[in-house]
Chains A and B, each alone.
Chain A
Amino acid sequence: MSNAARKLAEILPAFVLFALLLVLWQLAVSVFGIREYLLPSPTTVVNAMFSGHINWWGHIWATGLAIFGAFLIAAVAGIALGVVIAWSPMASRALMPFLVFVNTLPKVAVAPLFLLWLGYGILPNMLIGALIGFFPVVINTAVGLMQIDDDMLDLGRVFNAPKWKVFAKIRIPNAYPYILSALKVTATAAVVGAIVGEFVASQRGLGYVIITSQSSMNTPLAFGALVWISVLGLVLYGAVAALSRVLAPWAEGQER
């Protein structure tokens, strides 16, 4: 079987199921005469998604920016903290209880505080997303940096290699698969955070569209926003997955 044919065979079952569900949904709505405000049909949703009555691109841009910002902050802060924890046992002892405490906080409940401190806008939404998403990055980075063969470290010691060099040449590349799999989790967490922020208070963004469409019983619009949100999430997830194939090709196929 050729490569392209194998790829096709791989995605075909999911594709068929997805198409089947759409058809069933469309049929169910028309056969049972379900009202639009309860469950709009797929075609109605698609129409709503490209409707000119609402500035979709503006909302997508606002939410996309919040998601991307949240992801970036979580990634940078998470990797930096993970490196600090792996570098210094003292920093690890000082930071870990605090990080565990922060992680047990229901981040959604903190959202109103962020808005109180930072006002309306994209920044608080980014920070909520970052807060939800950064913890797995910290843990996975630290674990990836420390999960190293003793013999490998002896190899560094024999040559009196400085600690930073062992980090740069051995520990950090070794942690790539760990970091990248955490970033996949963070990609979805960033979406949740950004939408929660928009739910709490905002005047733009896809979360805002969902809140306002519900108050006006415009369910197709809410569905449309939902689909756009998942498109944003998928794009980010796909980007991380692609990055992982470039940075850590040796780890591909080990997870799942």
Chain B
Amino acid sequence: MPRIIIQLDRVGMIYQTGSGPVEALNDITLDVAEGEFVSLVGPSGCGKSTLLRVAAGLRPMTSGSIIVDGTPVTRPIPKVGMVFQAAVLLKWRSILDNVLLPAELAGLNAGAYCDRARDLLKLVGLAGFENKRPGELSGGMQQRVALCRALLLDPPLLLMDEPFGALDAMTRDDMNLELLRVWGEATGSAGRKTILFVTHSIPEAVFLSDRVVVMSPRPGRIADVVDINLPRPRSVETRATAEFGQHSLRIYDTLTGRKAGAAGVPLQALS
């Protein structure tokens, strides 16, 4: 039995707004095993990004419990690395110093992490960019730096909130392959990070994940969990297989409520 890295047990979250309480999350129960890649897909406002932040202890849940790597989450836990839709790099720092930021914020000796930071940059193909400023890098490169920053302290859990959502389609496909490579797809599940990945792109979720969690909105709840048993390592060809299409269609149908064989339903809620 693989070790469970993140255990969500009946997690609910209600937040107060000017017009009364809003239920953002309802009865979310999910276990993610070590080395597993799980995506959360759903329309805007289904609470998938909120769930990610609740899991990191950044937002308080109203009910239920979360355990990350044996630690109950009641406040932010330094066991997660986070990557957001925007790279949010510090414009005044060099690339290397941006990657080292978590060490500084956590009160560790940044100097001791220098070699690791350089190795990570090399891993994502940014060797030689250590002394550049974020402004000199493209969007895709900046997001690679953000990934290195999230990996610096070697957290057991990586939380990614639509990390490639702001990139153009081709760069995004490249980054998907790149992420799987950095994750260590080819080396087998031992020693891999556990990744919880939020996206509103069905193909992206299917391509990357071991499991796709489909969420429905207002309140955000789990509508379906789809096992993606496509062989790894995945490649460009994976996207052209029939299985890939079947998984995508099943998720699409869950999200839109379309009956099999019926006419297509626009996915406007997703875009």
Contacts and interface: CB of A to CB of B under 8 A. Distances in A.
Asked if A and B bind, the verdict is yes
A159 B92 contact: no
B79 to A, nearest CB: 9
Given A165-B105, A169-B101, A250-B135, A157 B88 contact: no
Nearest to A152: B88
A173 B97 CA distance: 14
B105 to A, nearest CB: 4
A157 B76 contact: yes
Interface of A is mostly: helix
Given A160-B78, A161-B106, A248-B92, A155 B101 contact: yes
A71 B75 CA distance: 44
Given A169-B105, A250-B135, A158 B58 contact: yes
B91 interface: yes
A42 interface: no
A149 interface: yes
Contacts of A165: 104-105, 107
B234 interface: no
A155 B92 contact: no
A152 B82 CA distance: 10
B104 A151 contact: no
Interface string B39-59: 000000000000001001010
Contacts of A170: 90
Contacts of B105: 155-156, 159, 161, 165-166, 169
Interface string A139-177: 000000000010110111111110001100110011010
B76 A158 contact: yes
A130 B75 CA distance: 44
Find the residue from A151, A154, A158, A250 having the highest chain B CB count within 10 A.
Answer: A158
A166 B104 CA distance: 10
Contacts of A157: 58, 76
Given A151-B84, A152-B88, A248-B92, A158 B56 contact: yes
A61 B85 CA distance: 54
Contacts of B86: 149, 151
Contacts of B91: 250-251
Contacts of B77: 158
Nearest to B85: A151
Using C-beta atoms within 8 Å of the partner chain, give the interface range for chain B.
20 to 34
Contacts of A173: 90, 92
Contact of B82 (A155, A174, A250): A155
Interface string B186-216: 0000000000000000000000000000000
B66 interface: no
Interface in A204-248: 248
A152 B135 CA distance: 17
B151 interface: no
Contacts of B106: 159-161
B92 to A, nearest CB: 5
Contact of A155 (B75, B88, B133, B135): B88
B102 interface: yes
B53 A176 contact: no
B88 to A, nearest CB: 5
A160 B135 CA distance: 28
Contacts of B175: none
Nearest to B97: A169
B107 to A, nearest CB: 8
B144 to A, nearest CB: 17
Nearest to A148: B88
A169 B102 CA distance: 11
B80 interface: yes
A250 B92 contact: yes
Contact of A158 (B78, B104, B135): B78
Interface in A29-53: none
B71 to A, nearest CB: 13
Contacts of B104: 165, 169
A175 to B, nearest CB: 11
Given A154-B53, A155-B101, 12 more contacts: A149-B88, A151-B86, A154-B84, A157-B58, A158-B56, A158-B78, A159-B78, A159-B106, A165-B105, A166-B105, A170-B90, A176-B92
Interface of A: 149, 151-152, 154-161, 165-166, 169-170, 173-174, 176, 248, 250-251
Counting from the closest, the 7 A-B pairs by CB-CB distance are A161-B105, A159-B106, A159-B105, A250-B91, A151-B84, A151-B88, A157-B76
Interface of B: 53, 56, 58, 75-78, 80, 82, 84-86, 88, 90-92, 101-102, 104-107, 133, 135
26 contacts: A149-B88, A151-B82, A151-B86, A152-B88, A154-B82, A154-B84, A158-B76, A158-B82, A158-B102, A159-B78, A159-B102, A159-B106, A160-B75, A160-B78, A161-B107, A165-B104, A165-B105, A165-B107, A169-B90, A169-B101, A170-B90, A173-B90, A173-B92, A174-B90, A248-B92, A250-B92
